Amino acid sequence: MPVAMPQSDGAVLARRAEIVAALQRMVPGEGVIASEQAMRPYESDGLTAYRQLPMVVVLPDTTEQVAAVLAYCNREGVRVVPRGAGTSLSGGALPLGDGVLLGMAKFNRIRTVDFANRVAVVEPGVTNLAVTQAVEHAGFYYAPDPSSQIACTIGGNVAENSGGVHCLKYGVTTNNVLGCELVLITGEIVRLGGSHLDAAGYDLLGVVTGSEGLLGVVTEVTVRILRRPETARAALIGFAASEDGGECVARIIGAGIIPGGMEMMDRPAIHAAEEFVHAGYPLDVEALLIVELDGPRTEVDHLLERVQEIARECRAVICRASTSEEERLLFWAGRKAAFPAVGRISPDYYCMDGTIPRAKLPLVLRRMQELSAQYGLRVANVFHAGDGNLHPLILYDANKPGELDRAEAFGADILRLCVEVGGVLTGEHGVGVEKRDLMPVMFSEADLNQQQRLKCAFDDQGLLNPGKVFPTLHRCAELGRMHVHAGRVAFPDLPRF
């Protein structure tokens, strides 16, 4: 594992039996898992190249238990790694050998559904899809839809600020969460927001969302639910050149159309998907675009006509509009199966997650092909085209010596490229351990220090999920130090009136 995790604290490990016993008193019954065999399922998350057994696993099922565990760990100086369903693709839930793994799976109840205010109050261990399932009888749904939605949990979605294919139009998690109950590492409990739209005071909910489990543990979440649009139709559009596909996306948005979903795949991804699910994708195109419109039937039909016109103007070689729900789902079937499809043509694949200004897509694809040749590894691309979020899948074989290292180096080069063209390291998967050491590519030391100071305001001993997000851990006292030079007046020519 090339990324170094914080060194285990021998003094904590020496007290393991005592710590396990204390946790068992706080979370009685089967809530504490301490045997190596039973802890094995927790050693990794969706980023399976990284594995580490935790010191102990705790599965609380009340807010009071979470508060007791955190207060204890804070008092005793024990590290804590929170975990939802463990589907993180960036290693956000990778355990620490001297840490408590705090699993939130038992928080799996939907507390209330309030149709009058279009909100649902759910526990963090509820899966993303279960929220929709709880409200769909009344014609509602929860908008963010990460592709892991049958497994991933709302708590994890809040931690990672998860997106999905519909987020260009409907926003990511942070735009769809109104409130939460948060337990601080001290065991103190705060409520942020609620069923009202604007939260009071600082937008702490906004900064907790996407904080990757470093600021606190969420024990309840209030999410917005939306009326499901009357209908949805999709167009399947193929291009002989990726530049044409990129132009088509820009012109659709330029025409004032924000599709419910707009996904692009490159040739290798198209071929892998088609071989796997036989969605009827054309195999002789360089780029395939799926554009989905949703809303009232009249609007969808109207806009789909326009999208097809634009596609033709952008030299589309194939353009089909779905005429039935079955056909629409078939268009999506290939895209939704793109990851496992790539998994069929390669023993292993490594999924990247950069975002780029869309106009740079042809350049980035070209440079990626050069890197592919340089590293001797194939790459397939799926792309949330509307928002510029690129998922290159690097194909490798972990059983071949050195291939994983090459894949990781290739991936890091892709992310550097994303930043170089004006983009960012991660659009929706999070930094975690995976991209931690690349943070200085995007942020200066001063930027990262300010972020860590905020961390200190929540967790002054750095016990919550250390080793994630920040490449260098500083002590809070050191970060807080001020160097004020009394009497020095810099920039004396600053205009004063």
Q: Which 240-269 residues touch other proteins, going by CB under 8 A?
A: 250, 253-258
Closest CA to 184 of 252, 285, 100, 82: 82
Question: Of 335 and 384, which has the nearer Cβ to other proteins?
Answer: 384
Q: Is residue 137 part of the contact set for other proteins (CB under 8 A)? A: no
Nearest CB to other proteins, comparing residues 18 and 188: 188
We find the least distance from the C-beta atom of residue 35 to other proteins, in angstroms, to be 35
Nearer to other proteins, 64 or 397 (CB): 64
The residue among 18 and 445 lying less far from other proteins, judged by its C-beta, is: 445
202 is an interface residue for other proteins by CB under 8 A = yes
Q: Contacts with other proteins in 306-335 (CB under 8 A)?
A: none
Using CA atoms of 475, 452, 428, 51 in order, give the dihedral in degrees to the nearest 10: 0
**Whether the Cβ atoms of residue 54 and residue 99 lie closer than 8 Å to each other:** yes
Taking only Cα atoms into account, the Rg of the chain, rounded to an integer number of angstroms, comes to: 24
The stretch near other proteins (CB under 8 A) out of 30-38, 124-132, 159-167, 269-277 is: 159-167
Give the Å distances, CA to CA, from 413 to 369, 394, 406, 407, 421: 12, 12, 11, 10, 12
**Two structure tokens written together for 27:** 């979370």
Question: In angstroms, what is the minimal distance from the CB of 257 to other proteins?
Answer: 7
CB closer to other proteins, 284 vs 313: 313
Site for other proteins in 457-496 (CB under 8 A): 457-458, 469, 480, 482, 484-491, 494-496
| Single residue of 147, 153, 242, 355 touching other proteins by CB under 8 A | 355
Residues in binding contact with other proteins, number by CB under 8 A: 108
> Which of the residues 25 through 84 are near other proteins (CB under 8 A)?
none
Measured CA to CA, the distance from residue 269 to residue 285 in angstroms comes to: 11
Q: Which stretch binds other proteins (CB under 8 A): 15-23, 47-55, 169-177, 275-283?
A: 169-177
Which of 430, 462, 466, 467 is close enough to bind other proteins by CB under 8 A?
Answer: 430
Residues in contact with other proteins, shown as a per-residue x/- string from 208 to 237 under the rule CB under 8 A: -xxx---------------xxxx-------
Query: Where do we find the tokens 């301490």?
Result: 34
The CA distances from residue 372 to 307, 368, 375, 410, 411, in Å, are: 33, 6, 5, 8, 10
Cα dihedral 264→267→270→273 (10° resolution):
-120
Rounded to a whole number, what is the distance in angstroms from the first to the last CA of the chain?
58
In angstroms, the CA 73 to CA 101 distance is 11
By the rule CB under 8 A, 346 interacts with other proteins: no
For residue 339, the one-letter residue type is F
Contacts of 13 (CB under 8 A, 6+ apart): 55, 97, 98
Q: Which is nearer to other proteins, 227 or 278 (CB)?
A: 227
**Least gap, CB of 418 to other proteins (angstroms):** 9
Helix 63-76 with 16-26: angle, nearest 10 deg: 150
Would you say 90 or 322 has its CB closer to other proteins?
Answer: 90
CB of 387 to other proteins, least distance (A): 4
Structure tokens at 487: 């009497």
Binds other proteins (CB under 8 A): choice among 136, 299, 397, 413: 299
Q: What length is written for the chain?
A: 497
Kindly state the DSSP code that residue 90 receives in the 8-state scheme: S
Kindly identify the residues of this chain, within the stretch 384-413, that bind other proteins according to CB under 8 A.
384, 387-389
The residue among 127 and 157 lying less far from other proteins, judged by its C-beta, is 157
Candidate residues 11, 17, 116, 477; the one interacting with other proteins per rule CB under 8 A: 116
Q: How far is the CB of 79 from other proteins (least distance, A)?
A: 20
Q: Where are the beta strands (DSSP E) in 377-429?
A: 379-384, 389-396
Positions 357 through 386 that interact with other proteins (CB under 8 A): 357-359, 384
Site for other proteins contains 17 (CB under 8 A): no
Q: How far is the CB of 443 from other proteins (least distance, A)?
A: 6
- Give the one residue of 65, 74, 219, 426 binding other proteins; rule: CB under 8 A: 426
Q: Minimum distance from CB of 225 to other proteins (Å)? A: 10
Question: What residues between 95 and 114 interact with other proteins by CB under 8 A?
Answer: 114
CB 379 within 8 A of CB 393: yes
The torsion angles phi and psi of 181, rounded to 5 degrees, stand at -105, 130
Q: How many CA atoms lie within 13 A of 139 on its CB side?
A: 4
305 binds other proteins (CB under 8 A): no
Cβ nearer to other proteins, comparing 251 with 336:
251
| Chosen residue from 131, 365, 394, 442 binding other proteins by CB under 8 A | 442
Tell me if 130 sits within 8 A of 213, measured CB to CB. Answer: no
Q: Which stretches of 185-258 are assigned E, i.e. beta strand? A: 189-193, 217-224, 226-227, 231-239
**Tokens standing for residue 339:** 């990851």
